[in-house]
Structure 1
Amino acid sequence: MQLSSKLNQHETLPPIRINALYPLSARFYAIHAVLLAVFGLLFLWLARDGSLDNALTGYWFDPLTQRFPWKDNRWLDLINHRLLKDMVIVTGVTLLIAGLLRRQPRWILVALLTGIGPLVVGVLKATSAHSCPWDLVMFGGKAVAWPLLGVAPPDSGPGRCFPGGHASSGFSLMALFFLYWPTRRRLAWLCWSGAVVLGLVMGYGQMMRGAHFLTHNLWAGWWVWLAQLLTYGCVTYLTNKMRKK
Protein backbone atom coordinates (compact mmCIF):
# COMPACT_ATOMS: atom_id res chain seq x y z
CA MET A 1 0.00 0.00 0.00
CA GLN A 2 2.78 2.41 0.84
CA LEU A 3 4.56 1.69 -2.43
CA SER A 4 1.34 2.08 -4.43
CA SER A 5 0.45 5.41 -2.80
CA LYS A 6 3.97 6.71 -3.26
CA LEU A 7 3.93 5.90 -6.97
CA ASN A 8 0.68 7.81 -7.34
CA GLN A 9 2.01 10.96 -5.76
CA HIS A 10 2.42 14.09 -7.89
CA GLU A 11 6.17 14.25 -7.46
CA THR A 12 6.74 10.99 -9.36
CA LEU A 13 9.03 11.81 -12.25
CA PRO A 14 7.50 11.32 -15.70
CA PRO A 15 9.47 9.16 -18.21
CA ILE A 16 10.75 12.22 -20.07
CA ARG A 17 12.66 13.29 -16.99
CA ILE A 18 14.64 10.08 -16.55
CA ASN A 19 15.66 9.55 -20.16
CA ALA A 20 19.37 10.13 -20.73
CA LEU A 21 18.57 12.15 -23.87
CA TYR A 22 15.07 13.46 -23.30
CA PRO A 23 13.13 14.99 -26.20
CA LEU A 24 11.61 18.44 -26.01
CA SER A 25 8.01 18.93 -27.02
CA ALA A 26 6.85 20.34 -30.34
CA ARG A 27 5.25 23.15 -28.37
CA PHE A 28 8.65 24.06 -26.89
CA TYR A 29 10.22 24.35 -30.35
CA ALA A 30 7.23 26.26 -31.71
CA ILE A 31 7.46 28.84 -28.94
CA HIS A 32 11.17 29.31 -29.48
CA ALA A 33 10.72 29.54 -33.24
CA VAL A 34 8.33 32.44 -32.70
CA LEU A 35 10.67 34.08 -30.18
CA LEU A 36 13.64 33.75 -32.53
CA ALA A 37 11.62 35.31 -35.33
CA VAL A 38 10.53 38.21 -33.12
CA PHE A 39 14.02 38.89 -31.81
CA GLY A 40 15.47 38.51 -35.30
CA LEU A 41 13.16 41.28 -36.53
CA LEU A 42 14.05 43.38 -33.49
CA PHE A 43 17.77 43.02 -34.15
CA LEU A 44 17.27 43.93 -37.80
CA TRP A 45 15.42 47.05 -36.71
CA LEU A 46 18.17 48.01 -34.25
CA ALA A 47 20.75 47.70 -37.04
CA ARG A 48 18.63 49.50 -39.63
CA ASP A 49 20.75 52.68 -39.84
CA GLY A 50 23.63 51.94 -37.46
CA SER A 51 22.81 54.87 -35.19
CA LEU A 52 22.59 52.82 -31.99
CA ASP A 53 25.70 50.80 -32.85
CA ASN A 54 27.70 53.92 -33.69
CA ALA A 55 26.61 55.71 -30.52
CA LEU A 56 27.49 52.85 -28.16
CA THR A 57 30.79 51.92 -29.74
CA GLY A 58 31.63 55.54 -30.55
CA TYR A 59 31.51 56.37 -26.86
CA TRP A 60 34.86 54.58 -26.55
CA PHE A 61 36.42 56.30 -29.57
CA ASP A 62 38.73 59.29 -29.16
CA PRO A 63 38.20 61.68 -32.11
CA LEU A 64 41.37 63.61 -31.26
CA THR A 65 43.71 60.65 -31.63
CA GLN A 66 41.42 58.87 -34.11
CA ARG A 67 41.67 55.59 -32.24
CA PHE A 68 40.09 53.46 -29.52
CA PRO A 69 42.18 54.07 -26.36
CA TRP A 70 41.09 50.73 -24.88
CA LYS A 71 41.99 48.71 -27.97
CA ASP A 72 45.27 47.43 -26.56
CA ASN A 73 44.39 47.71 -22.88
CA ARG A 74 46.29 44.98 -21.08
CA TRP A 75 43.67 44.11 -18.47
CA LEU A 76 40.72 44.25 -20.84
CA ASP A 77 42.52 41.92 -23.19
CA LEU A 78 43.70 39.58 -20.42
CA ILE A 79 40.46 39.28 -18.43
CA ASN A 80 37.74 39.68 -21.05
CA HIS A 81 39.38 38.46 -24.22
CA ARG A 82 41.44 35.61 -22.82
CA LEU A 83 40.58 34.56 -19.27
CA LEU A 84 36.78 34.48 -19.65
CA LYS A 85 37.03 32.66 -22.97
CA ASP A 86 39.45 30.11 -21.50
CA MET A 87 37.07 29.50 -18.59
CA VAL A 88 34.24 28.75 -21.00
CA ILE A 89 36.43 26.33 -22.94
CA VAL A 90 37.52 24.58 -19.73
CA THR A 91 33.87 24.21 -18.70
CA GLY A 92 32.96 22.54 -21.97
CA VAL A 93 35.99 20.24 -22.01
CA THR A 94 35.48 19.24 -18.36
CA LEU A 95 31.85 18.37 -19.01
CA LEU A 96 32.83 16.36 -22.08
CA ILE A 97 35.49 14.34 -20.23
CA ALA A 98 33.17 13.76 -17.26
CA GLY A 99 30.42 12.61 -19.62
CA LEU A 100 32.73 10.16 -21.37
CA LEU A 101 34.10 8.74 -18.11
CA ARG A 102 30.68 8.37 -16.49
CA ARG A 103 28.92 7.37 -19.72
CA GLN A 104 26.43 10.20 -19.55
CA PRO A 105 25.22 10.92 -23.11
CA ARG A 106 23.38 14.07 -22.04
CA TRP A 107 26.56 15.56 -20.59
CA ILE A 108 28.45 14.72 -23.76
CA LEU A 109 25.80 16.30 -25.97
CA VAL A 110 25.64 19.46 -23.83
CA ALA A 111 29.44 19.73 -23.99
CA LEU A 112 29.29 19.46 -27.78
CA LEU A 113 26.53 22.07 -27.87
CA THR A 114 28.87 24.57 -26.20
CA GLY A 115 31.07 24.24 -29.26
CA ILE A 116 28.46 24.15 -32.03
CA GLY A 117 27.26 27.72 -31.48
CA PRO A 118 30.67 29.42 -31.69
CA LEU A 119 31.48 27.17 -34.66
CA VAL A 120 28.43 28.43 -36.59
CA VAL A 121 29.20 32.03 -35.64
CA GLY A 122 32.83 31.53 -36.66
CA VAL A 123 31.82 30.30 -40.13
CA LEU A 124 29.41 33.21 -40.61
CA LYS A 125 32.03 35.68 -39.39
CA ALA A 126 34.72 34.27 -41.70
CA THR A 127 32.46 34.74 -44.72
CA SER A 128 31.07 38.17 -43.75
CA ALA A 129 31.94 41.31 -45.71
CA HIS A 130 31.12 43.57 -42.74
CA SER A 131 34.22 45.13 -41.17
CA CYS A 132 34.92 45.88 -37.52
CA PRO A 133 34.39 49.40 -36.12
CA TRP A 134 38.13 50.12 -35.89
CA ASP A 135 38.37 49.49 -39.67
CA LEU A 136 35.63 51.99 -40.57
CA VAL A 137 36.20 55.54 -41.83
CA MET A 138 34.11 57.07 -39.04
CA PHE A 139 36.45 55.48 -36.49
CA GLY A 140 39.78 56.26 -38.10
CA GLY A 141 39.88 53.39 -40.59
CA LYS A 142 39.42 53.15 -44.36
CA ALA A 143 36.43 50.85 -44.77
CA VAL A 144 32.88 51.98 -45.50
CA ALA A 145 29.94 50.88 -43.34
CA TRP A 146 26.78 49.58 -45.01
CA PRO A 147 23.38 48.20 -43.92
CA LEU A 148 23.24 44.66 -42.62
CA LEU A 149 21.17 43.32 -45.52
CA GLY A 150 22.53 45.75 -48.10
CA VAL A 151 24.96 45.15 -50.95
CA ALA A 152 28.62 45.32 -49.95
CA PRO A 153 30.42 48.32 -51.53
CA PRO A 154 33.83 47.83 -53.18
CA ASP A 155 35.57 49.58 -50.27
CA SER A 156 33.89 47.52 -47.52
CA GLY A 157 37.27 46.73 -45.99
CA PRO A 158 38.65 43.42 -44.67
CA GLY A 159 35.26 42.20 -43.41
CA ARG A 160 35.10 39.07 -41.22
CA CYS A 161 33.47 40.89 -38.29
CA PHE A 162 29.83 39.79 -38.14
CA PRO A 163 28.46 38.24 -35.93
CA GLY A 164 30.56 38.77 -32.80
CA GLY A 165 32.83 35.77 -32.36
CA HIS A 166 34.06 36.55 -28.86
CA ALA A 167 30.57 37.09 -27.46
CA SER A 168 29.52 33.71 -28.85
CA SER A 169 31.87 32.04 -26.36
CA GLY A 170 29.87 33.42 -23.45
CA PHE A 171 26.55 32.68 -25.14
CA SER A 172 27.67 29.09 -25.73
CA LEU A 173 27.01 28.26 -22.06
CA MET A 174 23.30 28.53 -22.83
CA ALA A 175 23.77 24.83 -23.60
CA LEU A 176 23.69 24.16 -19.84
CA PHE A 177 19.95 24.76 -20.13
CA PHE A 178 19.58 21.29 -21.65
CA LEU A 179 21.52 19.73 -18.80
CA TYR A 180 19.09 20.79 -16.09
CA TRP A 181 15.76 21.26 -17.88
CA PRO A 182 14.22 17.82 -17.15
CA THR A 183 14.53 18.00 -13.35
CA ARG A 184 15.57 21.52 -12.29
CA ARG A 185 13.90 24.03 -14.57
CA ARG A 186 14.66 27.09 -12.48
CA LEU A 187 18.34 26.20 -12.57
CA ALA A 188 18.08 25.60 -16.31
CA TRP A 189 16.74 29.10 -16.90
CA LEU A 190 19.26 30.54 -14.45
CA CYS A 191 22.11 28.98 -16.46
CA TRP A 192 20.58 30.26 -19.68
CA SER A 193 20.18 33.78 -18.30
CA GLY A 194 23.69 33.75 -16.85
CA ALA A 195 25.10 32.75 -20.24
CA VAL A 196 23.22 35.59 -21.92
CA VAL A 197 24.65 38.07 -19.42
CA LEU A 198 28.15 36.62 -19.85
CA GLY A 199 27.90 36.86 -23.63
CA LEU A 200 26.76 40.47 -23.44
CA VAL A 201 29.55 41.35 -21.00
CA MET A 202 32.20 39.72 -23.18
CA GLY A 203 30.70 41.41 -26.21
CA TYR A 204 30.67 44.81 -24.53
CA GLY A 205 34.35 44.41 -23.71
CA GLN A 206 34.94 44.07 -27.43
CA MET A 207 32.83 47.14 -28.09
CA MET A 208 35.12 49.08 -25.73
CA ARG A 209 38.09 47.99 -27.82
CA GLY A 210 36.39 48.98 -31.08
CA ALA A 211 36.17 45.37 -32.24
CA HIS A 212 32.38 45.01 -32.52
CA PHE A 213 29.01 46.71 -32.53
CA LEU A 214 26.13 45.84 -30.19
CA THR A 215 24.10 44.18 -32.95
CA HIS A 216 27.10 42.01 -33.82
CA ASN A 217 26.89 40.56 -30.31
CA LEU A 218 23.10 40.28 -30.27
CA TRP A 219 23.14 38.32 -33.50
CA ALA A 220 25.88 36.09 -32.09
CA GLY A 221 23.56 35.07 -29.26
CA TRP A 222 20.71 34.55 -31.74
CA TRP A 223 22.76 32.20 -33.91
CA VAL A 224 24.20 30.30 -30.94
CA TRP A 225 20.76 29.54 -29.50
CA LEU A 226 19.35 28.61 -32.91
CA ALA A 227 22.26 26.23 -33.57
CA GLN A 228 21.91 24.63 -30.14
CA LEU A 229 18.14 24.14 -30.50
CA LEU A 230 18.46 22.60 -33.96
CA THR A 231 21.33 20.34 -32.96
CA TYR A 232 19.66 19.15 -29.77
CA GLY A 233 16.37 18.56 -31.58
CA CYS A 234 17.99 16.54 -34.38
CA VAL A 235 20.13 14.41 -32.04
CA THR A 236 17.29 13.57 -29.65
CA TYR A 237 14.91 12.85 -32.51
CA LEU A 238 17.33 10.45 -34.19
CA THR A 239 18.29 8.83 -30.88
CA ASN A 240 14.71 8.15 -29.84
CA LYS A 241 13.84 6.95 -33.35
CA MET A 242 16.67 4.40 -33.20
CA ARG A 243 15.52 3.19 -29.77
CA LYS A 244 12.06 2.42 -31.09
CA LYS A 245 13.41 0.12 -33.82
Structure 2
Amino acid sequence: MQLSSKLNQHETLLPIRINALYPLSTRFYAIHAVLLMFFGLLFLWLARDGSLDMTLTGYWFDPMTQQFPWKDNAWLDLINHRLLKYVVIATGVLLLLAGLMRRQQHWVLVALLIGVGSLAVGVLKATSAHSCPWDLVQFGGKAFSYPLLGAVPVESGPGRCFPGGHASSGFSLMALFFLYWPSRPRMAWLCWGGAIALGLAMGYGQMMRGAHFLSHNLWAGWWVWLVQLLIYGCVTHLMNKMRKI
Protein backbone atom coordinates (compact mmCIF):
# COMPACT_ATOMS: atom_id res chain seq x y z
CA MET A 1 0.00 0.00 0.00
CA GLN A 2 2.81 2.40 0.92
CA LEU A 3 4.76 1.47 -2.22
CA SER A 4 1.71 2.15 -4.38
CA SER A 5 1.24 5.50 -2.68
CA LYS A 6 4.86 6.48 -3.35
CA LEU A 7 4.59 5.45 -6.99
CA ASN A 8 1.43 7.50 -7.44
CA GLN A 9 3.10 10.47 -5.81
CA HIS A 10 6.10 10.17 -8.16
CA GLU A 11 3.81 9.93 -11.20
CA THR A 12 1.97 13.05 -10.05
CA LEU A 13 5.13 15.09 -9.56
CA LEU A 14 6.73 14.08 -12.86
CA PRO A 15 4.26 15.88 -15.17
CA ILE A 16 4.59 19.01 -13.02
CA ARG A 17 8.35 19.00 -13.49
CA ILE A 18 8.03 18.39 -17.22
CA ASN A 19 5.32 21.00 -17.71
CA ALA A 20 7.61 23.98 -17.18
CA LEU A 21 5.45 26.36 -19.21
CA TYR A 22 2.82 26.67 -16.53
CA PRO A 23 -0.19 28.97 -17.02
CA LEU A 24 -0.79 31.71 -14.51
CA SER A 25 -4.18 31.99 -12.86
CA THR A 26 -6.97 34.26 -14.06
CA ARG A 27 -6.80 35.96 -10.67
CA PHE A 28 -3.14 36.80 -11.25
CA TYR A 29 -3.88 38.49 -14.58
CA ALA A 30 -6.91 40.29 -13.16
CA ILE A 31 -4.85 41.77 -10.32
CA HIS A 32 -2.13 42.93 -12.69
CA ALA A 33 -4.68 44.37 -15.12
CA VAL A 34 -6.06 46.51 -12.28
CA LEU A 35 -2.53 47.52 -11.25
CA LEU A 36 -1.60 48.47 -14.82
CA MET A 37 -4.74 50.59 -15.14
CA PHE A 38 -4.03 52.28 -11.81
CA PHE A 39 -0.41 53.08 -12.63
CA GLY A 40 -1.33 54.10 -16.17
CA LEU A 41 -3.73 56.71 -14.78
CA LEU A 42 -1.15 57.76 -12.20
CA PHE A 43 1.54 58.24 -14.86
CA LEU A 44 -0.88 60.23 -17.01
CA TRP A 45 -1.63 62.48 -14.06
CA LEU A 46 2.06 62.97 -13.25
CA ALA A 47 2.77 63.96 -16.86
CA ARG A 48 -0.40 66.05 -17.27
CA ASP A 49 1.42 69.36 -17.80
CA GLY A 50 5.07 68.30 -17.89
CA SER A 51 6.00 70.38 -14.84
CA LEU A 52 7.38 67.43 -12.85
CA ASP A 53 9.46 66.28 -15.81
CA MET A 54 10.84 69.77 -16.36
CA THR A 55 11.71 70.24 -12.69
CA LEU A 56 13.53 66.93 -12.25
CA THR A 57 15.46 67.12 -15.53
CA GLY A 58 16.09 70.84 -15.11
CA TYR A 59 18.08 70.10 -11.97
CA TRP A 60 20.83 68.69 -14.22
CA PHE A 61 20.76 71.59 -16.70
CA ASP A 62 23.18 74.51 -16.50
CA PRO A 63 21.37 77.70 -17.66
CA MET A 64 24.67 79.57 -17.89
CA THR A 65 26.17 77.30 -20.54
CA GLN A 66 22.77 76.16 -21.88
CA GLN A 67 23.97 72.56 -21.66
CA PHE A 68 23.67 69.39 -19.60
CA PRO A 69 27.13 69.10 -17.96
CA TRP A 70 26.74 65.34 -17.54
CA LYS A 71 25.71 64.72 -21.15
CA ASP A 72 29.15 63.52 -22.25
CA ASN A 73 30.38 62.29 -18.89
CA ALA A 74 32.67 59.34 -19.68
CA TRP A 75 31.79 57.27 -16.60
CA LEU A 76 28.05 57.83 -16.88
CA ASP A 77 28.18 56.91 -20.54
CA LEU A 78 30.39 53.85 -19.99
CA ILE A 79 28.74 52.33 -16.91
CA ASN A 80 25.10 53.34 -17.26
CA HIS A 81 24.60 53.77 -20.97
CA ARG A 82 26.80 50.95 -22.25
CA LEU A 83 27.94 48.43 -19.63
CA LEU A 84 24.56 47.90 -17.92
CA LYS A 85 22.83 47.52 -21.28
CA TYR A 86 25.40 44.94 -22.37
CA VAL A 87 24.88 43.01 -19.12
CA VAL A 88 21.14 42.83 -19.78
CA ILE A 89 21.70 41.69 -23.36
CA ALA A 90 24.21 39.07 -22.23
CA THR A 91 21.74 37.77 -19.63
CA GLY A 92 19.07 37.27 -22.27
CA VAL A 93 21.44 35.65 -24.77
CA LEU A 94 22.96 33.26 -22.21
CA LEU A 95 19.52 32.24 -20.95
CA LEU A 96 18.37 31.63 -24.52
CA LEU A 97 21.41 29.49 -25.39
CA ALA A 98 21.14 27.52 -22.15
CA GLY A 99 17.45 26.93 -22.80
CA LEU A 100 18.09 25.69 -26.32
CA MET A 101 20.96 23.42 -25.26
CA ARG A 102 19.02 21.90 -22.36
CA ARG A 103 15.70 21.93 -24.22
CA GLN A 104 14.08 24.07 -21.56
CA GLN A 105 11.13 25.77 -23.23
CA HIS A 106 10.55 27.83 -20.14
CA TRP A 107 14.03 29.38 -20.25
CA VAL A 108 13.72 30.09 -23.96
CA LEU A 109 10.41 31.88 -23.49
CA VAL A 110 11.73 34.03 -20.64
CA ALA A 111 14.81 34.95 -22.71
CA LEU A 112 12.58 35.96 -25.61
CA LEU A 113 10.41 38.03 -23.25
CA ILE A 114 13.51 39.99 -22.21
CA GLY A 115 14.12 40.92 -25.83
CA VAL A 116 10.48 41.53 -26.74
CA GLY A 117 9.98 43.93 -23.83
CA SER A 118 12.70 46.27 -25.07
CA LEU A 119 11.64 45.75 -28.70
CA ALA A 120 8.09 46.92 -27.98
CA VAL A 121 9.38 50.11 -26.35
CA GLY A 122 11.78 50.61 -29.26
CA VAL A 123 8.91 50.49 -31.76
CA LEU A 124 6.86 53.00 -29.76
CA LYS A 125 9.90 55.23 -29.35
CA ALA A 126 10.67 55.19 -33.08
CA THR A 127 7.16 56.42 -33.91
CA SER A 128 6.93 59.07 -31.17
CA ALA A 129 6.82 62.81 -31.87
CA HIS A 130 8.11 63.66 -28.39
CA SER A 131 11.68 64.96 -28.47
CA CYS A 132 14.38 64.46 -25.86
CA PRO A 133 15.03 67.18 -23.25
CA TRP A 134 18.31 68.28 -24.84
CA ASP A 135 16.38 69.05 -28.06
CA LEU A 136 13.85 71.35 -26.35
CA VAL A 137 14.00 75.15 -26.24
CA GLN A 138 13.86 75.05 -22.43
CA PHE A 139 17.20 73.26 -22.46
CA GLY A 140 19.04 75.02 -25.25
CA GLY A 141 17.46 73.22 -28.21
CA LYS A 142 14.97 74.26 -30.88
CA ALA A 143 12.05 71.85 -30.39
CA PHE A 144 8.83 72.63 -28.55
CA SER A 145 7.53 70.36 -25.79
CA TYR A 146 3.89 69.39 -25.31
CA PRO A 147 1.85 67.32 -22.82
CA LEU A 148 1.79 63.57 -23.25
CA LEU A 149 -1.67 63.50 -24.82
CA GLY A 150 -1.59 67.05 -26.17
CA ALA A 151 -1.61 68.27 -29.75
CA VAL A 152 1.72 67.92 -31.53
CA PRO A 153 3.21 71.36 -32.29
CA VAL A 154 4.63 72.13 -35.71
CA GLU A 155 8.17 72.45 -34.35
CA SER A 156 8.14 69.29 -32.23
CA GLY A 157 11.72 68.48 -33.18
CA PRO A 158 13.24 65.14 -34.15
CA GLY A 159 10.99 63.16 -31.78
CA ARG A 160 11.70 59.46 -31.22
CA CYS A 161 12.24 59.88 -27.47
CA PHE A 162 9.18 58.39 -25.75
CA PRO A 163 9.11 55.96 -23.95
CA GLY A 164 12.65 55.64 -22.59
CA GLY A 165 14.48 53.02 -24.62
CA HIS A 166 17.50 52.75 -22.33
CA ALA A 167 15.41 52.30 -19.18
CA SER A 168 13.45 49.55 -20.93
CA SER A 169 16.64 47.44 -21.00
CA GLY A 170 16.66 47.30 -17.21
CA PHE A 171 12.89 46.86 -16.97
CA SER A 172 13.03 43.97 -19.45
CA LEU A 173 14.58 41.77 -16.76
CA MET A 174 11.16 41.71 -15.11
CA ALA A 175 10.71 38.65 -17.34
CA LEU A 176 12.86 36.72 -14.86
CA PHE A 177 9.77 36.76 -12.65
CA PHE A 178 8.29 34.01 -14.84
CA LEU A 179 11.42 31.92 -14.36
CA TYR A 180 10.72 31.37 -10.66
CA TRP A 181 6.97 31.80 -10.22
CA PRO A 182 5.26 29.86 -8.64
CA SER A 183 7.97 27.43 -7.45
CA ARG A 184 10.03 30.18 -5.75
CA PRO A 185 7.75 33.20 -5.31
CA ARG A 186 10.19 35.17 -3.16
CA MET A 187 12.89 34.89 -5.80
CA ALA A 188 10.34 35.78 -8.48
CA TRP A 189 9.35 39.00 -6.71
CA LEU A 190 13.00 39.77 -5.93
CA CYS A 191 13.86 39.58 -9.64
CA TRP A 192 10.83 41.69 -10.50
CA GLY A 193 11.66 44.37 -7.94
CA GLY A 194 15.34 44.30 -8.85
CA ALA A 195 14.50 44.83 -12.53
CA ILE A 196 12.31 47.82 -11.66
CA ALA A 197 15.12 49.31 -9.56
CA LEU A 198 17.61 48.73 -12.38
CA GLY A 199 15.31 50.28 -14.98
CA LEU A 200 14.72 53.36 -12.81
CA ALA A 201 18.46 53.71 -12.14
CA MET A 202 19.33 53.41 -15.83
CA GLY A 203 16.57 55.85 -16.68
CA TYR A 204 17.73 58.34 -14.06
CA GLY A 205 21.22 58.23 -15.53
CA GLN A 206 19.68 59.30 -18.83
CA MET A 207 17.81 62.11 -17.06
CA MET A 208 21.16 63.35 -15.75
CA ARG A 209 22.47 63.47 -19.32
CA GLY A 210 19.37 65.30 -20.57
CA ALA A 211 18.30 62.35 -22.71
CA HIS A 212 14.94 61.55 -21.08
CA PHE A 213 12.24 62.71 -18.71
CA LEU A 214 10.91 60.76 -15.72
CA SER A 215 7.63 60.07 -17.53
CA HIS A 216 9.58 58.49 -20.40
CA ASN A 217 11.13 55.99 -17.99
CA LEU A 218 7.95 55.23 -16.05
CA TRP A 219 6.01 54.49 -19.23
CA ALA A 220 8.86 52.31 -20.48
CA GLY A 221 8.43 50.04 -17.46
CA TRP A 222 4.64 50.05 -17.91
CA TRP A 223 4.82 48.96 -21.54
CA VAL A 224 7.49 46.32 -20.91
CA TRP A 225 5.45 44.59 -18.20
CA LEU A 226 2.21 44.80 -20.21
CA VAL A 227 3.82 43.21 -23.27
CA GLN A 228 5.53 40.50 -21.23
CA LEU A 229 2.29 39.58 -19.46
CA LEU A 230 0.34 39.43 -22.71
CA ILE A 231 2.90 37.30 -24.53
CA TYR A 232 3.47 34.92 -21.62
CA GLY A 233 -0.27 34.51 -21.19
CA CYS A 234 -0.88 33.82 -24.88
CA VAL A 235 2.01 31.37 -25.24
CA THR A 236 1.19 29.34 -22.13
CA HIS A 237 -2.50 29.26 -23.06
CA LEU A 238 -1.72 27.94 -26.55
CA MET A 239 0.81 25.42 -25.25
CA ASN A 240 -1.65 23.99 -22.76
CA LYS A 241 -4.39 23.77 -25.41
CA MET A 242 -1.99 21.85 -27.67
CA ARG A 243 -1.19 19.39 -24.87
CA LYS A 244 -4.87 18.60 -24.47
CA ILE A 245 -5.36 17.78 -28.15
Q: TM-score, normalised by structure 1?
A: 0.95
C-alpha deviation, 1:14, in angstroms: 10
Say if 2:140 is the partner of 1:140: yes
Partner-residue secondary structure (3-state), 1:113: helix
1:212 aligns with: 212
Check 1:43–1:15 CA distance in 2 against 1; reply closer, same or farther (3 A cut).
farther
1:173 aligns with: 173
Residues 65-80 of structure 1 aligned to structure 2 (within 5 Å) = 65-80=65-80
Residues 98-117 of structure 1 aligned to structure 2 (within 5 Å) = 98-117=98-117
C-alpha deviation, 1:18, in angstroms: 5.4
CA contact (8 A) 1:113 1:228 kept: yes
Check 1:244–1:5 CA distance in 2 against 1; reply closer, same or farther (3 A cut).
closer
Residues 12-27 of structure 1 aligned to structure 2 (within 5 Å) = 19-27=19-27
CA contact (8 A) 1:129 1:156 kept: yes
CA contact (8 A) 1:136 1:144 kept: yes
1:244 aligns with: 244
CA contact (8 A) 1:17 1:182 kept: no
Percent of matched pairs sharing the same residue: 82
C-alpha deviation, 1:8, in angstroms: 10
Check 1:3–1:72 CA distance in 2 against 1; reply closer, same or farther (3 A cut).
farther
Partner-residue secondary structure (3-state), 1:129: coil
C-alpha deviation, 1:151, in angstroms: 1.3
Check 1:157–1:140 CA distance in 2 against 1; reply closer, same or farther (3 A cut).
same
CA separation in 2, counterparts of 1:30 and 1:4? 40
CA separation in 2, counterparts of 1:196 and 1:185? 17
Number of corresponding residues: 243
Check 1:244–1:145 CA distance in 2 against 1; reply closer, same or farther (3 A cut).
same
| Structure 1 residue runs of 4 or more that deviate by more than 3 Å after TM superposition | 1-9, 12-18
CA separation in 1, counterparts of 2:204 and 2:49? 20
Counterpart amino acid of residue 130 in structure 1: H
1:51 aligns with: 51
Q: Deviations over 1:106-165 (max 9, x none)?
A: 000000000011100000000000000000010111111101011101001000000000
Check 1:7–1:194 CA distance in 2 against 1; reply closer, same or farther (3 A cut).
farther
CA-atom RMSD, angstroms? 1.8
CA separation in 2, counterparts of 1:177 and 1:58? 35
CA separation in 2, counterparts of 1:174 and 1:18? 24
C-alpha deviation, 1:90, in angstroms: 0.3
Q: TM-score, normalised by structure 2?
A: 0.95
Q: Deviations over 1:41-66 (max 9, x none)?
A: 00000000111111111000000000
Q: Gaps spanning 5+ residues in structure 2: where?
A: none
1:119 aligns with: 119
C-alpha deviation, 1:4, in angstroms: 7.0
CA separation in 2, counterparts of 1:88 and 1:120? 16
C-alpha deviation, 1:17, in angstroms: 6.6
CA separation in 2, counterparts of 1:45 and 1:187? 32
2:83 aligns with: 83
Counterpart amino acid of residue 76 in structure 2: L
Q: Deviations over 1:156-202 (max 9, x none)?
A: 10000000000000000000000000210000000000000000000
CA separation in 1, counterparts of 2:89 and 2:220? 17
CA separation in 1, counterparts of 2:196 and 2:8? 39
CA separation in 2, counterparts of 1:54 and 1:14? 56
Check 1:59–1:102 CA distance in 2 against 1; reply closer, same or farther (3 A cut).
same
Counterpart amino acid of residue 64 in structure 1: M
